[in-house]
Amino acid sequence: MLTPRRIVMAARLGFVMASLGMAVLMLGPFQGLEQVFGLNDKTAHGVAFYGVTTGLFLIAPRQRRDDLALFVVAAAFAAELLQGLTGRSVSIVDFLAGSAGVLAAWAPGRIEQIRQTFRRSPDLTFGQMARADRRLRRRRMAVGRPGPSLVRTALD
pLDDT in tens, 41-78: 889 889 999 999 999 999 999 999 999 999 999 999 99
Q: For residue range 18-30, list pLDDT tens digits in order.
A: 989 888 877 776 7
> What are the domain boundaries of the chain?
4-120, 123-156
For residue 138, the number of C-alpha atoms closer than 13 Å in the C-beta half-sphere is 5
Q: How confident is the model at residue 145 (pLDDT cuts 50, 70, 90)?
A: low
Q: What pLDDT digit, counting tens, does each position of 87-104 carry?
A: 777 889 999 999 999 999
Query: Could you give the CA distance from residue 56 to residue 15 in angstroms, rounded to a whole number?
Result: 8
Query: With 80 as the cut, is the pLDDT of residue 142 above it?
Result: no
Global pTM exceeds 0.95: no
